[in-house]
């Protein structure tokens, strides 16, 4: 455990509150298009439900690597149609701006302080399925002090495929055991552990809203379990 | 010109003084290995002379994409042998540490202030032939406030190949003309212009030492010519 040199972070859910953030930008969009009757949180959930199936097309090899902004945009159009709206009749700039809601998500309250402390002792980077521009715009807006923007795009593989973790370790010139994945999702951590990474679990019990049922607690004996990023920094002596 | 949204920077020579930096770490290494008689600046120049030929193996397709840390290490061993030293009898940790001299280069005096100003108005990133870890370690040590670490490794192409510029624009989801390359090298700028990028020249008249003969002045009508990064920020209204 002592030899961890780099901390790599899941982002959607672990670092940022995607559901509230996406709903915040969906609300005015729906109102402007005459659909103020729709619940923006329900649409955010519907948009997110299409996230894993879209990446699965790439993981399975049925589709070449395609960055997340493109998948998000395709999924947005499907969700709008599913709710009786016609994206073909909307301005391209409006759709692109809404798609970039994912670039403008806010971090959970403990994140900035925790990351600034962790950065003093470790190399810190996102290991997210988000693309470089999405993660970089998010960091610039929110002040996330990453040392580099890593994730699916530089390694051309989506988590939880082992290549996503192993090629990230290769970029950092470290054996996998010198990286620790920090995530709020037991499944992501299980895949990281199978690839040889150390693991740290942080619960985010309202990621999916007030009725969340999953990922409320650790499901394996992860190397660290912390309340939030500040607690993790304290546990790691940072 | 008005539509530039991202500034991408050449790094070795333009952002950092590689020659003094590499010589600074070579000096103690040579002394420790009984070769205090050798001039560390001359060895830094010899190491750097092998830089373009090594990348040319990759550009030509004779060798698959190989990150710069690996090329630097191979070149270091060649330079040491050329000077009568045997890297095979040196500690691996010593050679790796010396190879990482390229991760520990200092920026020219105007860089930090200039980049902090430019970052407020533009997306800023390196577009260097250095690999991600090299550029990220350099940024962490020197405080370079990049919005993302771009360059040869994420696009798997070495400048001046057009793919290096065009795939970087693609990562940023911008047409090439919305990117501006900032560089101290006319050849790099010429290749960027041929790929459709805007161009800014900053002279670094001592990059190669006191007797420098090349790149002392702009050789084309670049879109901007500035004395240094602070002057560039002023010209760009940042």
Is the pLDDT at B1 greater than 60? The verdict is no
Residue of A nearest to B144 (CA): A147
Helix and strand element counts for chain B (H, E): 11, 5
Q: Could you give the count of Cα atoms lying within 13 Å of A33 in the half-sphere of its Cβ?
A: 20
Beta-carbon neighbour count of residue B65 at 10 Å?
A: 12
Please give the order of strands across the beta sheet that includes B123-126: B123-126, B6-9, B179-183, B198-201, B224-225
CATH of the domain at A209: 3.40.50.1000
Q: Say yes or no: B154 contacts chain A, CB-CB below 8 A.
A: yes
Beta-carbon neighbour count of residue A209 at 10 Å?
A: 13
Inter-chain contact B132–A171, Cβ cutoff 8 Å?
Answer: yes
Mean pLDDT for chain B overall:
97
Q: Please give the pLDDT value at position A97.
A: 97
Beta strands in B105-177, from DSSP E residues, in sequence order: 123-126
- What DSSP character marks residue A227? S
Tokens matching residue A36: 């103020």
Minimum-distance CB partner of A153 among B135, B140, B154: B154
**Do B12 and B23 share a domain, yes or no?**
no
Q: B216: Cβ–Cβ under 8 A, 6 or more apart, which residues? A: B203, B205
Angle formed by the axes of helices A18-32 and A40-49, nearest 10°: 120
Whether residue A61 is contained in a domain is answered as yes
CA B165/CA B154 separation, integer angstroms:
11
CA A180/CA A146 separation, integer angstroms:
15
Rounded to 5°, angle at Cα A216 from A213 and A217 = 140
Beta strands in chain A, from DSSP E residues, in sequence order: 6-9, 123-126, 179-183, 198-201, 224-225
Interface test with A, best of B119, B148, B167 (most A CBs within 10 A): B148
Query: With bands split at pLDDT 50, 70 and 90, how would you rate the model's confidence at B174?
Result: very high
Whether residue B228 is contained in a domain is answered as yes
Residue of A nearest to B139 (CA): A147
Whether residue B1 is contained in a domain is answered as no
**Do B120 and B96 share a domain, yes or no?**
no
Number of domains in chain A: 2
Residue A3 burial (10 A CB sphere; 0-12, 13-18, 19+): exposed
Q: What is the pLDDT of residues B84-107, one digit of tens each?
A: 999 999 999 999 999 999 999 999
Whether residue A184 is contained in a domain is answered as yes
Residue A183 burial (10 A CB sphere; 0-12, 13-18, 19+): buried
Inter-chain contact A171–B69, Cβ cutoff 8 Å?
Answer: no
Q: Please give the pLDDT value at position A2.
A: 59
Q: What is the pLDDT of residues A178-224, one digit of tens each?
A: 999 999 999 999 999 999 999 999 999 999 999 999 999 999 999 99
Residue of B nearest to A155 (CA): B154
CATH of the domain at B74: 1.10.150.240
Q: How far is CA A215 from the centre of its chain?
A: 15
Whether residue A1 is contained in a domain is answered as no
Q: A63: Cβ–Cβ under 8 A, 6 or more apart, which residues? A: A57
**Which residues in chain A are contacts of B148 at CB distance < 8 A?**
132-133, 135-136, 148-149
Which of B:23-42 have CB within 8 Å of A? none
**Do B179 and B110 share a domain, yes or no?**
yes
Inter-chain contact B136–A123, Cβ cutoff 8 Å?
Answer: yes
| pLDDT, average across residues B218-230 | 98
**Do A114 and A218 share a domain, yes or no?**
yes
Q: What percent of chain B is predicted at pLDDT more than 70? A: 99
Q: Say yes or no: A136 contacts chain B, CB-CB below 8 A.
A: yes
Query: With bands split at pLDDT 50, 70 and 90, how would you rate the model's confidence at B176?
Result: very high
Q: Is the ipTM of this complex over 0.85?
A: yes
- What distances in angstroms separate CA B157 from CA A72, B58, B64, B187, one per listed residue? 27, 8, 10, 16
Interface test with B, best of A173, A174, A175, A179 (most B CBs within 10 A): A173
Whether residue A208 is contained in a domain is answered as yes
Buried residues in A84-116 as b, exposed as e (16+ CB within 10 A): ebebeebeeeebeebbbbbbbbbbbebbbebbb
**Do B184 and B150 share a domain, yes or no?**
yes
Nearest to A169 by CA among A222, A133, A123: A123
Q: What percent of chain B is predicted at pLDDT more than 90? A: 99
Specify the pTM: 0.97
Q: What is the pLDDT of residues A129-142, one digit of tens each?
A: 999 999 999 999 99
Single out the residue in A66, A84, A103 at which a domain terminates: A103
Element (H, E) at B199: strand B198-201
Single out the residue in A103, A130, A150 at which a domain terminates: A103
**Do B55 and B114 share a domain, yes or no?**
no
Q: What percent of chain A is predicted at pLDDT more than 70? A: 99
**Do B197 and B181 share a domain, yes or no?**
yes
Inter-chain contact B147–A139, Cβ cutoff 8 Å?
Answer: yes
CA A40/CA A30 separation, integer angstroms:
8
Which of B:66-105 have CB within 8 Å of A? 69
**Residue A172 φ/ψ, nearest 5 degrees:** -85, 0
Rounded to 5°, angle at Cα B109 from B105 and B110 = 120
Strands B179-183 and B198-201: parallel
**Do B71 and B144 share a domain, yes or no?**
no
Is the pLDDT at A123 greater than 80? The verdict is yes
Query: With bands split at pLDDT 50, 70 and 90, how would you rate the model's confidence at B155?
Result: very high
**Which residues in chain B are contacts of A137 at CB distance < 8 A?**
123
Mean pLDDT for chain A overall:
97
Inter-chain contact B147–A140, Cβ cutoff 8 Å?
Answer: yes
Q: Say yes or no: B139 contacts chain A, CB-CB below 8 A.
A: yes
Inter-chain contact B148–A147, Cβ cutoff 8 Å?
Answer: no
Inter-chain contact B132–A153, Cβ cutoff 8 Å?
Answer: no
Q: Please give the pLDDT value at position A117.
A: 98
Q: State which residues form the domain around A13.
A: 6-17+105-235
Q: Please give the pLDDT value at position B2.
A: 59
Minimum-distance CB partner of B149 among A133, A140, A148: A148
Beta-carbon neighbour count of residue B2 at 10 Å?
A: 3
CA B98/CA B104 separation, integer angstroms:
10
Single out the residue in A103, A128, A154 at which a domain terminates: A103
SS3 annotation, B39-108: CHHHHHHHHHHCHHHHHHHHHCCCCCCCCHHHHHHHHHHHHHHHCCCCHHHCCHHHHHHHHHHHHCCCEC
**Which residues in chain A are contacts of B69 at CB distance < 8 A?**
173
Minimum-distance CB partner of A149 among B131, B149, B173: B149
Whether residue A178 is contained in a domain is answered as yes
Interface test with B, best of A154, A156, A167 (most B CBs within 10 A): A154
Number of residue pairs across A and B with CB atoms under 8 Å?
A: 47
């Amino acid at each position: 455990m002592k030899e961890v040199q780099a901390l790599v972070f899941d982002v959607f859910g672990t670092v940022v509150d995607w559901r509230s953030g996406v709903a915040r930008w969906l609300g005015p969009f729906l109102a402007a298009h005459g659909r103020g009757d729709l619940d923006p949180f329900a649409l955010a959930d519907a948009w997110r439900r299409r996230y894993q199936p879209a990446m699965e097309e790439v993981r399975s090899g049925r589709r070449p690597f395609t960055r997340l902004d493109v998948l998000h945009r395709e999924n947005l159009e499907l969700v709008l149609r599913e709710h009786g709206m016609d994206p073909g009749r909307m301005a391209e700039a409006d759709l692109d701006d809404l798609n970039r809601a994912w670039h403008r998500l806010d971090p959970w309250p403990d994140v900035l302080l925790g990351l600034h402390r962790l950065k003093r002792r470790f190399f810190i980077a996102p290991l997210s399925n988000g693309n470089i521009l999405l993660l970089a715009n998010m960091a610039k807006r929110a002040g996330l002090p990453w040392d580099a923007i890593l994730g699916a795009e530089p390694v051309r593989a989506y988590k939880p495929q082992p290549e996503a973790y192993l090629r990230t370790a290769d970029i950092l010139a470290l054996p996998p055991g010198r990286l620790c994945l920090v995530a709020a999702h037991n499944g992501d951590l299980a895949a990281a552990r199978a690839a040889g990474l150390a693991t740290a679990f942080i619960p985010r019990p309202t990621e999916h809203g007030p009725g969340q049922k999953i990922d409320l607690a650790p499901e394996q004996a992860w190397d660290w379990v912390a309340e939030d990023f500040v607690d993790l920094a304290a546990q790691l002596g940072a």
